[in-house]
Structure formats: structure tokens, C-alpha cells
A and B are shown apart, each in its own frame.
Chain A
């Protein structure tokens, strides 16, 4: 009887552990809830940044929407950095910080160990139709939205086949418009933008 009780007890405990793992995994696999007042911005739509980010006439723009407090954002810092290192000469990279915390440009640059521009204006996210972090946005030299979506199907960004941002960037730079992305790429996954941003 006692042995049976112990076995039952251990089964309950180990089931609890299983539930913990499953629940955390399931929670992160859900898409980010769409904000109630969200204004959709379609691909190829012209983005008006009101000269908040200046580029030369021939320069396209890669915006990385980043929140240091968001675990998902932190997951792919290395991946973003690899993109900058690889394509830094072909496109202008910039980081848009969407955080409730106060950071300086230098602090953000130190986190990535990059010297690319850092912006704290949340209206940029609204203009681009971004409502989660991390998100990648590619704007061509005509200010048209080429890509807005996730970096990867997984949180860890190790899946080469689903490195959506990289694939978008490569097709953009090679003028290959034939690449199409599924919902896993375009439907925003990750952390919600904090409601109160200073």
C-alpha cells in the first residue's frame, strides 16, 4: 500500500514537471495578440517616417524592433548581429527600441556591440505596422514596405530554413520578388509592445 502510494505520489510530481514544460512551450508558441487599435500596413505600402530616419537616395533600410526586456528579443540578438555583419554594406541597419525602460543609444549599441543608429520613437512601429518584438522591417529606397515579419519560426533562430528575415533580405538585395512568405513569417510572434513607453 505504501509503495503504491509512493508511486502514485511520484507520478503526480513528475506529471507536474511535464505540465510545467508543456505549458511554457505552448505559451511561447502562440502568436502575439493584435492590439485593439492596430492599423494594418500592407506590404508595398509607402511608409512615411517623417524624416525620423534619414537615408541617402539609394539606401534601403532594415529596421530591427527590439525590447531588451523581451526574452524573445534577447533570443535573436546574435542572429541580428550576424545579419548586420553580413549585409551591413548593402543596406542601412537601424534598431528601434520599444521598451518601458530608459536606455541610451550607447547602451543599446553596447548590447549588440554594433555602432548602427538606435531610435526610441514608437511612432516608427505604428508607421510600419509593428506590434511585437522582435520584428524585422525592410523598406526600399522608394519608402515602400518590402518585408515586415519574424526572424525565425523558432524562438532560438537556429533554423536555417525559417530564417525569414535573412531570406527576405537576400531576396530583396537580389531583386528576387518571387519569394513568398507564409503566415509563420508574417504573423507577428513574440512579446507585446509595453503599453507604457516613456
Chain B
């Protein structure tokens, strides 16, 4: 050992430690063969006297004891001492299995010899202790006469025999221990001698090349100094703090960077490991401590690295990263760790900001993608040359392309040359002027049809304020515009109709007033006409005729006859004229009555538009009242009216007057369609409730109508009768529709009657 110490400065202990490590590894490997053999030998002996339980139980426990300690404490030699005990136990097992066969004791010698491989004489002691303790205890018990102890085949285990036995065993163990010691000593000596030879050789080379060596040494020193300087500058430049932790002293030596980085002055207090621990962030301390312990305990680990937060003197926490190398002794036990700590707070903060930005960016991207993916509009971004750099899915699909395929294309690839050229010019202009073109409508041709697009284009400006292209969107507004136009036309038409309606109302009012006045004049004329008898001239002519003689006498016969004839002809003419006038007055009065009827209907129609009175109405009563009003007409014509209306007919909500007017119109039409000479004169009225509706059917045997008439039946002003206005069925339909109902009038043809069906909501 002295030799080792003397050359320690030359690095010999490193060789010695390395050699011992090799011995340990080689021996462990050998034991991995020997121990299973021991275990299997137990099985061989078990066959003799069925001692399987012992061989399996004891053998297994021995293996577990050895390997469990080896795994639990890899850096310790304890498992080798356990091995020594295990060899002793195996020997006892074999002796037991073979009932004390003397030869089994030889396993003590085998075990002892095997242990030499570790070159550690102390390993002989545990096995020796096992043998001695075992023999001593059991020998003593047997000698004491304990019946249940059967230890030796000898009747009495005499002290002399015991001592002999013990001495011989001790000699064996001693000799083996001696060989182990000698082997180790010799090996170390060999290693040391080799190292010494190397050293001497180096010295001789140095002596021979002293100047060269000195120059080299000087150069090395210079390089070392330079290296140290570089290292110092490097440390200063990198703002790293170098540290050296010694486990045996439980200290950490800090370099200058420590003060620079964290603001602590280097004092005896800062050298303590406890100081370092007190400054590590509490949330990180446990994790970092565990990584240190793991690295330290694992014999194969050479480096250690960790990131954590360290409290600075100013009270802020700095993010730091550490990297270190672990130095170990010859047994692989960590004794020092040398490393550098670097402040990475700014990097960490940048990372946090970057992560935050990435998250926001991802969110923004998601929103944009969602927009571009789902909006049913053409949305695009173009570069300076008007080539698409991003487009909505709707746009790509419109041109039969995917979103990726449309990238790089321009309007010249997608639209007509004229349209593309116009769009290109627009976009170039927008880029130059930086003026957006907002919400303008353009028309394009698509599949031969005109399409209206509402578009917006804007300059695409980057963060530096440079125009890098354009972007925009357009929406197909063809349908919207069409709908707007339709609504506009409808409103216009409605306004016109309203105007017409109002004008018509005024006109009708004036006409009504005029007609009333006209009627009164006609009646006055008629009255006067009736007062003015047409027979006066005739009576005067008859009077002159009776007095003809006197007239002849007075005027002569020719003149008298002429006067009488003239008076007779004048009387006849006056009568004819009066008859004609009377006839004309009657016609005029009829026309006035007709006009008044039309005006009445129109007024009712107007009032129908204005009032929406809805009350429960019993339709059966309405029909009966209508028939009563028309009774004189039906009786006059001899029409047979049949009624089929249930008494429990449900009520409907409506305007009784309007509904009665509608029913009257239908019945009047039916009565008017039946002439004096009609072969059958019947009108049948029925009403039923069906599927939430009340259906009224009016069937007549009248003249009916053909198909062309059927098409115009409800047209305003259409009539087949000379004295009618053509408003009856038109108004009837308006009334029914105002009640949310339907009306249908059909006929199988001329002279085949007609059927009117009114459906009203219950």
C-alpha cells in the first residue's frame, strides 16, 4: 500500500482501482456459474434420501439471499460476504442430505477456494464463523444431552475432536485467506510495477529529451494558461457558474459566475449544500434531488443534467439548466460532481411567450380554417400577380378543384379572358392605390345564365405596411336580387291596385250619385209622360170628325178632311212616341237598377276588405234564410228545391252577411240557369262535415256550361247573362277565400246542370 501511495501522484491508484474492478467483475461472472451448480448439486444429493424439500427450499433461499443483496447494493461488497455464508449453508445442506457423510465437509474447502477469486481474505471469515458457530452450538447441545439434537455420528463430540476439527478447518480458511491476500498483493504489486515502469520510462524519455520536454512543457503551460484564460472568458461570456460538489464533505464550491448570475457573495454559508437546497424552488427540489440521487447511485451513469428554478438574491426566481459529470472511486461510488449552471430565464420566458403565441395562432388558424371551410362564399387571397395563395372550399369546389389544387391558379385559369382581364386590372389598381373596392355588383356568365355577384376586394398589406397582394370575397346575389325585384313589383302592383281601388270607389260614389239623380229625372219624365195623355190629339181628331159637317161648312171639305186626318196622324204619332219614350224610360230605369246593384256589390266588396268580423255562424240558418229570400223566384219558375242539411251541423266562424251573400249568389246562378222550358227544374242543397271542413254542395239541373266557360267562371266581369255584371262568382270566391275556404263550380257540359262546392274551415 505504501508503494501505491508513493506513486499515487503518477496515477497508479487509478490502475489499481481499475484492476480491482476487473477482478470483481470477473469473479462475479464466475460465481454466476458456481452458485447454480451448488443449487443443482443439492438436487443430485436429494435423489439419495428424498431430501427434495431441503434442496429446493434451502438452495432457493441461498440464491435469493445472494442475488437480492447484490441487486440492492451494487456498489457494496456485502453480497460477497453473503456469498461466503451461503457457501457454508450449502455445505451444511449437503451434509444433512447425505446424513453426515464426511466427504460433504470437503465443500467447505471448495467454497473457501472459490472465494479466493475475489482476492479478499476477509471473505473467509463469514464461512468460518458459520462452521464454528454451527458446530459449537450443536456440539454443545448434544454434549448437554439434548435428545432432539443429533449432530454427530460420534457418541460424544469430544473437545479434542472439536478443536481438531476446528483447527483444521481454520487452517484451510486461513490458507485460502492467505492466498487471497497474497494474490491481491502480488497483483497490485504487478500493476504498480507496470505503472512504475511506465513512469520510469517516461522519466528516462524526459531525461533524454529534457530541452524538448521543457519546451513542450512550457508550451503546455502556455497552452494551459491560455486554455484557462479562454475558459475564464468563456465562462464570463456564457455567464455560466461552475461548481464542484464533494459528497464526502457535503459541500458545493461555486465559481465566480455564481455571484454574477444570482447576486450572492461567495461565503462559507453558500458552500453548504443546505444553502443550495434552500434556494431551489420548493416545487422543483424533490424532483431535482431524486435525479441527483439516481445518477449518483447508478454506477454506470457518468453525467447528470437538470432544469429548475433558483432563487436569486433579489428575490426573483431564475430558470437554470445544469450539466455535470460524476466522478467515482474505484468501487464506482460517486465522490464528486463537477458541473456548470446557466441562467436560461430569458429562454424560458421566450418559450412561454412562444407557446402562448402558438396557442393563439392555432386558435386563429382554426377560426380562419373554419371560415374558409364552411362559408358558402367565394373567399380568396392572391399574391401580387393575382395568383391564388389561399381560397375557400366553396370557391375551389365551384371550379371543380380541391383547396390545394386551386393554389397558384389565377382568374385566367378559372374565368373567361374578358372577366379575368378586368379582375386582374382591378386588383393591380387596388394594389397601387391601396383603395378597396367594397360591395360592388358584377355580372358574370355561368352556364349560359347571368349571375349577379356582390363582391369586395381589398389590398393585402403585411406587418411592414407593404402591399403583398389582394384579398376579397364575393357572394352570388342573383336569387336575392330576383326576390327583391319580385317584392318590389308586388308592392308596386299592390299600390297601383290600391290606387285603382280608391279611384274606383270615388268613381262609383260619383256614378251612384249621378245615377240616383238620373233615375229621379227619369221617374219624373215618366210621371209627366203618364200625366200627358197621348189620346188628347186622338180625341180632338174624333171630335173634328164628328163635327165634320160644320168643319166642311166652315173650311170646305178638302181642308176639313185634311185637318181631321192630320190630327188623327199626329195623335197616332204622339202615342207611338209616348210608348217609345215610356219603353225607353223603363229600360233606362232597369239599367240604373243594374248599375246600382253593381255599385252595391262593389261597396260590399270594399266593406268586406275593410272588415274582418268573425262570429259563430250556423250555415244551415244562412241557407234557409237565403232560400226564403229567393222563394218567390223559385215558386214562380216551379223549381223543386231539396235540402239535406243535418241539424247538428258544426258552427263556423265568419261574417254572416258575407256568407249569405255568397250563398245567395250561388243560388241565384242556379235559379237563373233554369229556364221555363227546362225539362227538369231541381236544386238540391246538401252540407256535411268532413276532415275539419264544412262542405256545402249546390246542384242544379240548369243549362250548365262548357269547358271554355269553366276556365273563366271566376274571372272578374265574366258573365253569360245579358243583364248581369259578371261580379257574382268573382265576389263569392273572394268572400269564401276571406274565410279561409275554397270554392269550385263544375259542370259536365251544356244542358247537364252544374255543381257548386264550397269548403269552409270549421
Contacts and interface: CB of A to CB of B under 8 A. Distances in A.
Interface string B47-67: 011110110011001101100
Contacts of B68: 9, 13
B153 interface: yes
Given A2-B73, A9-B68, A156-B100, A17 B58 contact: yes
Given A6-B69, A9-B68, A156 B54 contact: no
Contacts of A2: 72-73
The B interface is mostly helix, strand or loop, or mixed, namely helix
A45 B68 CA distance: 62
B675 interface: no
A158 B153 contact: yes
Contacts of A40: none
Interface in B34-54: 48-51, 53-54
A17 B62 contact: yes
B99 A75 contact: yes
Interface residues of B, number: 28
Interface string A1-26: 01000100110011011001100111
Nearest to A160: B155
Contacts of A154: 150, 153
Given A16-B61, A21-B54, A10 B99 contact: no
A159 B78 contact: no
A71 B49 contact: yes
Contact of B148 (A29, A71, A159): A29
Contacts of B51: 24, 71
A25 to B, nearest CB: 8
B82 interface: yes
Contacts of B64: 13
Contacts of B53: 20, 24
A123 B614 CA distance: 125
Contact of B57 (A20, A71, A74, A156): A20
A125 B595 CA distance: 152
A16 B58 CA distance: 8
Contacts of A20: 53-54, 57-58, 61
Contact of A14 (B65, B73, B96, B155): B65
Nearest to B62: A17
The A interface is mostly helix, strand or loop, or mixed, namely helix
B664 interface: no
Nearest to B130: A14
Interface string A70-87: 010011000000000000
B674 to A, nearest CB: 124
Contacts of A25: 148, 150
Given A2-B72, A159-B153, A13 B65 contact: yes
Contacts of A29: 148
B99 A156 contact: yes
Q: How large is the interface on A (under 10, 10 to 19, 20 to 34, 35 or more residues)?
A: 20 to 34
Nearest to B73: A6
B195 interface: no
Contacts of A64: none
B72 A6 contact: yes
A24 B54 contact: yes
A82 to B, nearest CB: 15
Contacts of A16: 57, 61
A92 interface: no
Interface string B196-235: 0000000000000000000000000000000000000000
A26 B148 CA distance: 8
A155 B48 CA distance: 14
A159 B155 contact: yes
Contacts of A71: 49-51
Contacts of A159: 153, 155
B123 interface: no
A188 B100 CA distance: 23
Contacts of B61: 13-14, 16-17, 20
A113 interface: no
B396 interface: no
A1 B71 CA distance: 16
A21 B62 contact: no
A111 interface: no
B89 interface: yes
A50 B94 CA distance: 46
Contacts of A155: 99
Given A9-B68, A13-B61, A29-B148, A161 B155 contact: yes
Nearest to A162: B155
Nearest to A27: B53
A20 B58 CA distance: 7
A9 B72 CA distance: 11
A192 to B, nearest CB: 14
17 contacts: A10-B82, A13-B61, A13-B68, A20-B54, A20-B57, A21-B58, A24-B54, A25-B150, A71-B50, A74-B48, A75-B49, A75-B99, A155-B99, A156-B99, A156-B153, A158-B153, A161-B155
Given A13-B64, A29-B148, A75-B49, 9 more contacts: A6-B73, A10-B69, A17-B62, A21-B54, A24-B51, A24-B96, A74-B49, A155-B99, A156-B100
Cβ-closest 10 pairs across A and B: A158-B153, A71-B49, A20-B57, A156-B99, A13-B65, A71-B50, A16-B61, A13-B61, A20-B58, A17-B58
